[in-house]
Structure 1
Amino acid sequence: MTTTNRLYLLKTTALSAALLAAAPVSASVISGQLTNAEGEPVAGAIVRLTDVGAGVSESVYTDARGRYVLETGLTGELRLRFRAHYFADREEQVSLAGDDATLTRNVGLTALTTDREISESLAASYHFNELPFDTEEDQPFTRDKFQLECLSCHQLGNPFTRTVRPAESWQQTVQRMHAYMGAVGITDKDRRRSEIFAEGFDGEPTEMRPEFPFDEALAHTKVYEYQLPSSGVPHDALVHSGNGLVYTVDQFADGMYVTDLAAGTTRFVPHPEQDMPLGGIFTVLGVPPAMNKVNVRHGPHSLAEGHDGKLYVTNSYSASIGVFNPETNTWEQKIPLPGNAPYPHTIRVDKDGIFWFSVVGTEQIGRLDPETQEITLITLPEPRPVAITPAVLTYGVAVSTLDGSIWYSRLWGNRIGRIDPETLEVTEIESPVFGPRRLRFAEDGVLWQAGYGHGQLARIDTKTMAIDVYDMPEFAPGARPGPYSLNVSPTTGDVWINETMTDHIYRFDPATEAFIAYPAPLRGTYTRDVSFTEEGWVCMSNNPIPVQALEEYTGVLMCLDPNYRP
């Protein structure tokens, strides 16, 4: 990749900030009703309008009476799609000239009738659930351990991954994946997992028939999607507090997308080489690069905004903290980690402007003072893996809003810990939920934590250590969601949860202890972190690995407006 700081201007949409923040002042309106063959309303259906050339989509949901209103600033020749669970998609081309144009589309949807049609319409979770997992808790291939280890980076059960293959073919893939986890020389387990895949992914339609709830909140939600062309893995997205732009790091494209929601543009800024070879620090160390990505130098993964307004990025492949300057749209010189510690993962910033980040390769937590650029690596208690991998994947990081202490999670070790920011003393406890991934503090000092293995949400009062655990919605028996990350709305206190297997985004109201599930517009949805705009939009990247596993084959920046037409 070139070392110059070129900016690639990618056309997205012509919406203004005013159009994005509220009902458009001057916009077209598409409205109507969706019904089934009996004329009954279809609630919770997705009505999606796409400018294919610009790579921009806007979606709304039908209400309890099947009605919808889509206010849009998109113009020209557009694609209009209607989608609902257990119904065939309807698509048509529409033309909008703008200038307050109105269009009415009342659509009758046709029910899917064959097992194959229904099966193909269902999310990865319901195909994954067909695998013949171990059933005894102490066995290595139970469903929760399978979800913990095999779904950490990508889905299993989508069309890309459920192809029919003999066990011998699966074993080649399994051995490679086990090696990524540090699990080598385990021939019997390689063989057993391969047999599970071959038996479960047999090409037959799934018999699962999930039941999807409808919540009236859907009728007051609009979803915006912005394609990120040349996507490798557009990993974490962050809304900048100063300029309102959305910054998305792409781990496998080695760069940063900068999306301006007001101007309707996205720029891609490649990370300069900065003397890092292809394969990154793995090449320097003489070992195969993570996930065998030999064409990646830096692998930007997670980002946090500093008190200076710059973005500090965990460069997973170059064992460094990248520095991106939003004022100049350029990457500054990276800050190397001591000892070439590979795969810095999740990064957060405390009230004093100090950065804290996890390091997967050495199972440590890092501390960065951006003024001196001094990095300290903190050794954690000895790993205690809960599955077949010897690693524990030191993962999420959160800064307490009460006392500034640093909390972390160990995904494959089922532990969470606390670090005193002054003494760096470490205390570690068992996780209240199986497979702790990312975690965040609310303004009231409550720690919220995603439990990936069992599809749970934990609430931890860190003053008293009182803990509440909530099961996320299960649409079919045993098909547990895979919550990856979460964030707490600064205005409502609601907890928004990323998820990887059910093609939904989840919202939890702590006051009512109720979940709302928002169907994603695209099948194959895999989201990894949440950031909020000043207007209350909920933004995240949608980025399965490989990105071709996502419907339409390109990663997107997705923002939900939960206050659309209140």
Structure 2
Amino acid sequence: MKNTLLIAVLAASILAAAGDIYAETISGTVSGPAGKPIGGVMISAFDKGHRKFVSVFSQGDGSFVIDGLRNVKHDVRARLMGFDDEWSDGKKPGTGSLEFKLKAATGDDLQDQRPASSGFSMLKFDNQRDKLNFKMMCSYCHQVGTVGFRTPEQPVDWETMVRRMDGFGGLYRHTQKTIVKRLLGAYKDDAIRKWPVFVPPPAPAGLAAKARITAWELGKKLESSFHDLELGPDGLVYAVNISKHRIVTLDPATGEQLAYQLPRGSYGPHSIELANDGHMWLTICASGQMAKFDLNTKKYTICSSAEAPAKRGSYPHTLRINPKDPEGLIWYTDAGRNSCFSLHPVTLKVKEYHLLKAHQAVAAGKGESRGITPYGLDFSPVDGTIWYSKLNGNRIGRIDPRTPNGDIKEWNPPFRGPRRLHLDQNGIVWVPGFASGVFGKFDPKTEKWTVYDLPDAENQIPYALNVDPGGNVWICGTGNDTLNRFNPKTERFVEFRLPTRSSRPPLAPPP
């Protein structure tokens, strides 16, 4: 079995933006052990020169076509859960049809295909409250239950990892005392051998099997950690490398990548957005700063994310810019304090909005967990109000920029862990429930919630969602390497599988 580690950015719509400048094709068929055609198999063609791969799905008759390729050799992979990956290396477009014959996966090969959500389901808790608490505190930045997660071997290794993950001190005291034993009981080698045999889900069909996914490797393997990305007016992709403190640009047409290092003293770029003046703004979380990146000069302007005279903020997180705002204000959350901020892009004047305390929220629960964590943020296209979420405070809130103090109001959602929210064209607020494995629709006019479960909600951890121009809601399947498209009119899901495992997509792109 051939393993290929890919650090990739999903960009399903970028190919169209780049233009269909290549016209070569690789085609073929896929069959199973009995020789019958198999539909829903993901076929990926890897272009090493451009560090790019294009994936499509075989149709009901087993046929597939990957077009728009360069006239260079590609390594081609066939993948479907329940079968071993099959490869055809050095395939040049237009040189005959490929025939993949898949073999059923067994033993460890089948076990390793188990997505994180399935692996996480093997970790047992006494009650749902304890499980939600663990999901909130120990899966912020990675999946739980994957092969990589299960690498610690001794109790001391697990204790070290748990202390690192629970840096906020948010695990319940009784869970802190028992969690290492629970982890060993679920993920130690002899425990894994007692797991039930993994039963793969059905192959993609219908619309899910018509998707075309184009992805690129970014940065160096095993050392790059990218968080957010944005499309520039110049056709380039701008991505922030949070661990190497730089912006990396990608030209989808040529595959060229360029890096722009932040100046000394600025660390941890987290989020990036295109401003109304055509340049990029970033939150610099580790050093408590905001940064403007001039697309013409390739130079940074750095300022404190806090109000003067403070030299730095705590942890500036998510930013958004309303394209209809005549001032072009930069709005952002700070995950390290109970505040949101606006920044004038010309004067660099910062205004802090102090958010509500727990007892001031509508339908408030019994207090807040340790750490309030203002997190996601978006603007209403209807009235320009600013909406935010509190991940640990378990609130969503609204700021009205037309009033001196923001006329702030907050609501407690009927689920746990509101994370990176978005508003649709009608001003409806869509919110992922990270710990609960759900997402919710909040109507500001009626102040009513509608909540939808994701498939296997108990083991899902939806990090973010987005709304496309057609009103479809795209939700990260953070626990099982998927993107889910939800049609609010029909209330139907379509799950799209991603070409990489343990991919943890941070944001759902438009279609």
| TM over 0.5, shorter chain | yes
Aligned residue in 2 for 1:223: 213
Aligned residue in 2 for 1:110: 103
Q: Which amino acid aligns with 1:264?
A: G
**Does residue 194 in structure 1 map to residue 180 in structure 2?**
yes
Distance in 1 (CA, whole Å) between partners of 2:268 and 2:128 is 38
CA distance 1:383–1:251, change in 2 (3 Å): farther
CA distance 1:177–1:23, change in 2 (3 Å): closer
**How many angstroms does 1:322 deviate by?**
0.8
RMSD: 2.6
* Count of matched residue positions in the alignment of Structure 1 and Structure 2: 481
Q: Which amino acid aligns with 1:170?
A: W
**Does residue 519 in structure 1 map to residue 479 in structure 2?**
no
- Alignment equivalent of 1:421, drawn from 394, 397, 401: 401
Q: Which amino acid aligns with 1:198?
A: L
Aligned residue in 2 for 1:506: 484
Q: Which amino acid aligns with 1:348?
A: R
Distance in 2 (CA, whole Å) between partners of 1:364 and 1:198 is 39
Aligned residue in 2 for 1:236: 228
Aligned residue in 2 for 1:174: 162
Aligned residue in 2 for 1:485: 464
**Does residue 443 in structure 1 map to residue 425 in structure 2?**
yes
Aligned residue in 2 for 1:246: 237
Distance in 2 (CA, whole Å) between partners of 1:247 and 1:253 is 15
**How many angstroms does 1:308 deviate by?**
0.8
Distance in 1 (CA, whole Å) between partners of 2:203 and 2:215 is 23
Paired residues for 1:74-223 under 5 Å:
74-96=70-92, 101-114=94-107, 116-135=108-127, 137=129, 141-142=130-131, 144-179=132-167, 181-183=168-170, 189-203=175-189, 204-205=192-193, 206-207=195-196, 208-212=198-202, 214-223=204-213
Distance in 2 (CA, whole Å) between partners of 1:26 and 1:54 is 13
Deviations 1:404-450 (A, max 9, x none): 11111111222111112122121111113321111111112221111
More off after superposition, 257-266 vs 518-527: 257-266
Q: Is the 8 A contact 1:365 1:380 kept in 2?
A: yes
Aligned residue in 2 for 1:551: none
SS in 2 for 1:200: helix
Aligned residue in 2 for 1:377: 352
Distance in 2 (CA, whole Å) between partners of 1:367 and 1:88 is 51
Deviations 1:56-94 (A, max 9, x none): 111111123322111132333321111001000101213
Q: Is the 8 A contact 2:399 2:408 kept in 1?
A: yes
Q: Is the 8 A contact 1:237 1:530 kept in 2?
A: no
Deviations 1:308-363 (A, max 9, x none): 11111110011111111112223223344233321100001123111211101113
Q: Which amino acid aligns with 2:379?
A: V
Distance in 2 (CA, whole Å) between partners of 1:382 and 1:515 is 36
SS in 2 for 1:437: coil
Gaps of 5+ in 2: 1-7, 360-364
Q: Which amino acid aligns with 2:124?
A: P
Q: Is the 8 A contact 2:270 2:282 kept in 1?
A: yes
**How many angstroms does 1:218 deviate by?**
2.9
Distance in 2 (CA, whole Å) between partners of 1:102 and 1:442 is 46
**How many angstroms does 1:238 deviate by?**
1.0
Higher relative contact order (CA 8 A, sep 6+): 1
Q: Normalising by the residue count of structure 1, what TM-score does the alignment of the two structures yield? A: 0.79
Aligned residue in 1 for 2:336: 361
SS in 2 for 1:94: strand
Aligned residue in 2 for 1:550: none
CA distance 1:479–1:500, change in 2 (3 Å): same
Aligned residue in 1 for 2:3: none
Distance in 1 (CA, whole Å) between partners of 2:343 and 2:22 is 47
Paired residues for 1:306-321 under 5 Å:
306-321=275-290
Distance in 1 (CA, whole Å) between partners of 2:484 and 2:199 is 20
Aligned residue in 2 for 1:557: none
Q: Normalising by the residue count of structure 2, what TM-score does the alignment of the two structures yield? A: 0.88
SS in 2 for 1:76: coil
Aligned residue in 2 for 1:301: 270
Distance in 1 (CA, whole Å) between partners of 2:358 and 2:244 is 32
**Does residue 332 in structure 1 map to residue 312 in structure 2?**
no
Distance in 1 (CA, whole Å) between partners of 2:305 and 2:435 is 33
Distance in 2 (CA, whole Å) between partners of 1:25 and 1:304 is 27
**Does residue 410 in structure 1 map to residue 390 in structure 2?**
yes
Distance in 2 (CA, whole Å) between partners of 1:487 and 1:243 is 23
**Does residue 494 in structure 1 map to residue 472 in structure 2?**
yes
Aligned residue in 2 for 1:348: 320
Distance in 1 (CA, whole Å) between partners of 2:447 and 2:299 is 43
Aligned residue in 1 for 2:31: 35
Q: Is the 8 A contact 1:300 1:315 kept in 2?
A: yes
CA distance 1:386–1:214, change in 2 (3 Å): farther
More off after superposition, 457-466 vs 429-438: 457-466
Deviations 1:468-487 (A, max 9, x none): 2111123xxx6532211111
